[in-house]
């Protein structure tokens, strides 16, 4: 049976699958375009790449050549300056290292000692970093050390300072020559004898070889070695103080001719100490109360007051220049005084200026004299008027006041001895009528005086009658002035306010003889 050949079948893609494939293809094209835009790949042929490398090498060589032309030749890293007079380790480090605190690095690098007493030699060549050196005021400010006590002395020691000459070996080895005045003044112009002795002395032989650097450092007596010693206080390095040396240095500085100083400790015994104390203290003597005596009122007869002198005027007073008190004198003022008729005053005489009050009661013909000032005659030429100066005042010293010669003096204030029973009875004759209430330091006049045995320093009690016919002490007074038949006392204590004329007075304490 003959097979019939079948026609080849063709399959048709659905439209949905074709659309999906087309979409994928489109997205791949878009992504490829985006990558090409971002990366921008360059297609370089072999010949082009070789030319580009040649151009780059040429540009680098040109840039290096231009930099070589712009910059000078490379400077060396170090320089070798020379130490000049006056420079210090600090100033050199500040100049070449930019910081003075680097002086130890400078010393280490150049083999310079960092201990006190090691001088910095002038002309020494150093090796320091090659830096731009400051000049002018900037260099001076950089080289100046700060005001800090912690900077070591060796860092500030100047190079090339003048040194004192080293004494000859003969003078150092001879103790007598070291301490003699002639040897010390041999080089002075006014020491002829010393100069002659120094010239006659044999001169030591000059050394042929120069001393070593260590010997020069030990014999150096420059200003750096004469600076004050540095001591320690409480375990810390203190500031520079003069005189802080050890005992060995102090003993070595003493000359052989000087003797030992001995201090004598004076230790007096008890009796000697008491004697010295009494000699230093003022003696315990009673104090005179002259002002209290001068101001004390007293009784006088009318006849004695009538013939007294008077104050004529105050010197220099004028009614136009002193309207309020034209004739009132003060202390140290000078007044013109007139003595009583038939009497003359001499230079140095003392006068009492006073006013008077009438004494009431049964004391007719007696007045109370109230002193106002003490005067002393300064000039008296025998005429009717003398010149006196006001020494003290207890009241107003005015023109027309009467004057009497001062008499009597204050008695020393002593401790009165208390009596077993009061022995002198009297009464109060006068109290100042201008005082409304007599109190401490007020004066009273008593009706008993030397005729009853009263004397200055006696103490008297003033009694007042109270209820029941009893008496009570109102005040106690101390006698300061005594006349023949009366006495003046001052109130020293007060127990009541009823102090009046006529009250009873009795002495209860007596001054020692």
User: Is 208's pLDDT higher than 80?
Assistant: no
Give the per-residue pLDDT at 214: 53
Whether residues 296 and 395 share a domain: the answer is yes
Q: Report how many domains make up the chain.
A: 3
User: How would residue 20 be classed by pLDDT, with cut points 50, 70 and 90?
Assistant: confident
Give the per-residue pLDDT at 63: 60
Whether residues 385 and 437 share a domain: the answer is no
Let me know: does 390 contact 373? Beta carbons within 8 Å.
yes
Exposed, middle or buried, 488 (CB in 10 Å: 0-12/13-18/19+)?
buried
* Residue 187 placed within a domain: no
Q: Give the highest mean pLDDT range of 188-202, 213-227, 367-381.
A: 367-381
User: How would residue 373 be classed by pLDDT, with cut points 50, 70 and 90?
Assistant: very high
Give the per-residue pLDDT at 65: 52
Whether residues 398 and 445 share a domain: the answer is no
* Residue 472 placed within a domain: yes
Angle, to 10 degrees, between the axis of helix 89-96 and the axis of helix 103-110?
100
What's 134's DSSP letter? P
- Per-residue CA distances from 184 to 222, 223, 513 (Å): 19, 20, 76
Provide mean pLDDT across the span 139-149.
Answer: 60
Provide mean pLDDT across the span 3-15.
Answer: 53
Give one DSSP letter per residue of 288-353, joined into a string. B-HHHHHT--EEEEHHHHHT-EEEEEETT--TTT-SS-TTEE-TT-EEEEEPPTT----TT-EEEE
- Per-residue CA distances from 504 to 262, 361, 443, 466 (Å): 75, 15, 16, 13
User: How would residue 261 be classed by pLDDT, with cut points 50, 70 and 90?
Assistant: low
* Residue 35 placed within a domain: no
Provide mean pLDDT across the span 98-126.
Answer: 83
Whether residues 326 and 377 share a domain: the answer is yes
Whether residues 351 and 377 share a domain: the answer is yes
Q: 22-61: per-residue pLDDT in tens?
A: 888 888 888 888 887 776 555 444 444 444 554 555 555 5
Let me know: does 419 contact 509? Beta carbons within 8 Å.
yes
The CATH number assigned to the domain holding 128 equals 3.10.350.10
Whether residues 311 and 393 share a domain: the answer is yes
Q: What pTM did the predictor assign?
A: 0.45
The answer for residues whose C-beta is within 8 angstroms of residue 129's C-beta and 6 or more apart is 77, 78, 79, 96, 97
Residue that terminates a domain, selected from 156, 188, 217: 156
Lowest mean per-residue pLDDT among 64-73, 243-252, 351-360: 64-73
* Residue 240 placed within a domain: no
Whether residues 301 and 396 share a domain: the answer is yes
* Residue 22 placed within a domain: no
Whether residues 305 and 370 share a domain: the answer is yes
Residue that terminates a domain, selected from 405, 438, 473: 405
Whether residues 400 and 295 share a domain: the answer is yes
Tokens of 219: 């014999």
Whether residues 297 and 398 share a domain: the answer is yes
Give the per-residue pLDDT at 407: 87
The CATH number assigned to the domain holding 462 equals 2.40.10.340
> Across all residues in the chain, what is the average pLDDT?
75
136: containing domain: 78-156
Whether residues 392 and 448 share a domain: the answer is no
Whether residues 495 and 446 share a domain: the answer is yes
């Amino acid at each position: 049976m003959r097979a019939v050949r079948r026609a080849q079948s063709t399959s048709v893609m659905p439209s949905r699958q074709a659309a999906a494939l087309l979409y994928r293809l489109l997205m791949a094209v878009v992504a490829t375009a985006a990558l090409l835009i971002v990366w921008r790949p360059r297609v370089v042929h072999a010949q082009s790449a070789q030319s580009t490398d040649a151009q780059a090498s040429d540009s680098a060589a040109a840039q290096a050549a231009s930099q070589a032309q712009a910059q000078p030749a490379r400077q060396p890293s170090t320089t070798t300056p020379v130490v000049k007079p006056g420079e210090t380790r600090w100033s050199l480090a500040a100049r070449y290292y930019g910081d003075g605190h680097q002086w130890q690095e400078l010393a280490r690098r150049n083999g310079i000692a960092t201990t006190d007493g090691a001088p910095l030699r002038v002309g020494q060549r150093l090796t320091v970093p090659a830096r731009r050196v400051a000049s002018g005021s900037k260099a001076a400010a950089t080289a100046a050390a700060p005001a800090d006590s912690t900077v070591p002395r060796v860092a500030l020691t100047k190079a090339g300072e003048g040194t004192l000459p080293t004494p000859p070996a003969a003078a150092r080895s001879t103790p007598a020559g070291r301490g003699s005045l002639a040897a010390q003044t041999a080089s002075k112009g006014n020491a002829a004898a010393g100069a002659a002795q120094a010239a006659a002395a044999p001169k030591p032989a000059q050394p042929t070889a120069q001393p070593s650097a260590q010997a020069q450092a030990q014999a150096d007596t420059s200003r750096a070695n004469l600076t004050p010693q540095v001591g320690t206080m409480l375990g810390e390095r203190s500031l520079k103080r003069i005189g802080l040396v050890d005992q060995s240095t102090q003993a070595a500085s003493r000359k052989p001719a000087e003797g030992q100083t001995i201090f004598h400790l004076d230790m007096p015994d008890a009796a000697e100490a008491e004697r010295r104390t009494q000699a230093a203290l003022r003696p315990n003597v009673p104090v005179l109360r002259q002002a209290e005596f001068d101001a004390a009122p007293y009784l006088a007869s009318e006849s004695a007051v009538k013939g007294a002198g008077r104050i004529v005027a105050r010197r220099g007073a004028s009614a136009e220049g002193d309207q309020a008190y034209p004739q009132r004198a003060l202390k140290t003022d000078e007044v013109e005084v007139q003595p009583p008729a038939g009497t003359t005053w001499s230079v140095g005489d003392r006068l009492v200026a006073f006013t008077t009050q009438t004494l009431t009661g049964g004391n007719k013909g007696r007045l109370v004299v109230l002193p106002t000032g003490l005067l002393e005659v300064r000039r008296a030429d025998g005429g009717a008027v003398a010149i006196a100066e006001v020494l003290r005042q207890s009241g107003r010293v005015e023109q027309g006041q009467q004057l009497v010669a001062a008499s009597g003096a204050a008695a020393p204030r002593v401790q009165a001895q208390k009596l077993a029973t009061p022995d002198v009875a009297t009464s109060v004759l006068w109290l100042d009528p201008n005082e409304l209430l007599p109190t401490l330091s007020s004066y009273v006049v008593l009706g008993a005086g030397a005729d009853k045995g009263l004397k200055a320093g006696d103490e008297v009690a003033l009694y007042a009658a109270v209820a029941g016919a009893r008496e009570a002490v109102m005040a106690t007074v101390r006698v300061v002035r005594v006349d023949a038949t009366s006495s003046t006392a001052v109130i020293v204590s007060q127990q009541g306010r009823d102090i009046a004329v006529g009250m009873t007075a009795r002495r209860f304490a007596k001054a020692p003889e």
